[in-house]
A = this chain, B = another copy of it.
Amino acid sequence: MADLFRVGLLGHGTVGAAFATLLEDRADAVEAITGLRPELSGVLTRSRGDFEDIVERSDLIVEVMGGLDPARDYVLRAMAAGRHVVTANKQLLSTHGEELWAAAREHDVQLRFEAAVAGVVPVIRVLQESLAGAHVDRLHGIVNGTTNFILTQMAETGASYADALAEAQRLGYAEADPSDDVNGRDAAAKMAILARLAFNTPVHIDQVRYEGIEHLTADDMAYARDLGLGLKLIGTAERIDGGLSVRVHPAFLYGAHPLASVSGPFNAVTIESEAITEVTLSGPGAGGPQTASAVLGDVISAMIPPASTPPATDSLEIVTDVESGFYLHLEVADRPGVLAQIAQLLGLQGASVKSVVQKGLGENARLVMVVHPLLESRFFAAVDLIAGLDFIRAKPRAIRVIDEQFT
């Protein structure tokens, strides 16, 4: 039996409960990758569990209780006891980050916090590791899913701010008290953390200027739509005249901006640097399971040696025949019965035609057809037969179609 890796959990709200479930669900996979079996060694909530006891019985502590107190004290004590810590607490890091990072270095433990910013979007790791050597010039982010959902609703439905907020609350994208989301303070905390990592300069949340979305109107959205602009709550951190500006405010973005098309509760971050031009990361920014996945990624990273590629744990069979939709371009002589014969050959292989466009006439007509997904081997069998028909004037050309139902 594999050795255990004991994980102590502080906090059992939405993220904590999702993490406990995920850790159990993925225990086999984690064991296959790391050689260690992860196990929840204890859970601390307001009403149960003993902190000292949990630390004693853990190799790593996950802190998802939120807030400054007692989270700061617990994280410091866990690290002093030699435990790695994974936290999702942006408030804590944007307020006491320097103290906590110094403590991690002093006690030679890992302090990971991917889930604190943009959920499962791996921006922390990318700034700390991939881009550690880059000279970052600017970073733009949509780092609050609640406000991005509200703004997307307003843009797509013409709803007022109040109605869009109510809808967000109904769907669970906004809290009963959404103040820190809609006034920009949540995004400001996240931008303080990102700016610290991107620019290697201490940034406290109180140094981030922020403005929320409460004053935006359906009129503003209509203006944006008429001009092909996006209207988003944007966090910015950038070098200015040898200094650093960190701020959060609504902004109109030109349609081609990588953040203009980020919609719903998604988050995204664009990092600009002369050497790398521009890297953009996007994905779900919140939600229990997504944030729990980010926490689990950090836990696994603490379990494996750096940059190791574990032995393959699976040996999936490589499948060579798959289903695809197709675009089929045919050059044909325009005679009666042409389409019927083609449709018949396709139909014999189970291909169902979704749409047909005919261009040109006479000896140089072109047929462009789209067929619904079917096994590629069957589609190509039909195309081979079609290619042999006497009215075909050129080699048929087929291109796959990735359908919108793919997601």
Contact = CB atoms under 8 A, between A and B. Distances in A.
Contact of A320 (B108, B128, B245, B368): B245
A179 to B, nearest CB: 20
A135 B312 contact: no
A32 interface: yes
A105 B317 contact: no
A294 interface: yes
Interface stretch (A42-50, A74-82, A337-345, A393-401): A393-401
A402 B254 contact: yes
B234 A402 contact: yes
Given A307-B301, A317-B242, A401 B220 contact: no
Most chain B beta-carbon neighbours within 10 Å: one of A108, A120, A231, A296: A120
B402 A257 contact: yes
Contact of A110 (B216, B250, B307, B402): B307
Nearest to A114: B130
Contacts of A314: 199-201
A76 to B, nearest CB: 15
A313 B251 CA distance: 31
A132 B297 contact: yes
A279 B281 contact: yes
Chain A interface helix/strand/loop/mixed: mixed
B280 A282 contact: yes
A256 interface: yes
Contact of A293 (B110, B275, B366): B275
Contacts of A318: 203, 207, 243-246
* Copy count, this protein chain: 2
Interface stretch (A22-30, A166-174, A180-188): A22-30
Contacts of A312: 98, 196, 200-202
Contacts of A231: 399
A111 interface: yes
A204 to B, nearest CB: 9
Nearest to A315: B201
A158 interface: no
Interface stretch (A8-16, A64-72, A283-291): A283-291
A390 interface: no
A122 interface: yes
Interface in A306-360: 306-320, 322, 327, 329, 357
Nearest to A209: B320
Contact of A317 (B244, B247, B292): B244
A283 B293 contact: no
B130 A125 contact: yes
Interface string A219-249: 1100100000101001000111111111101
A267 to B, nearest CB: 10
A219 B394 CA distance: 14
A299 interface: yes
A121 B112 CA distance: 21
Given A101-B311, A242-B316, 15 more contacts: A105-B310, A120-B131, A132-B300, A133-B299, A133-B300, A202-B315, A220-B397, A241-B319, A242-B317, A252-B399, A256-B404, A276-B289, A277-B283, A278-B283, A279-B281
Nearest first, the 3 A-B pairs at minimum CB distance are: A279-B283, A110-B307, A243-B317
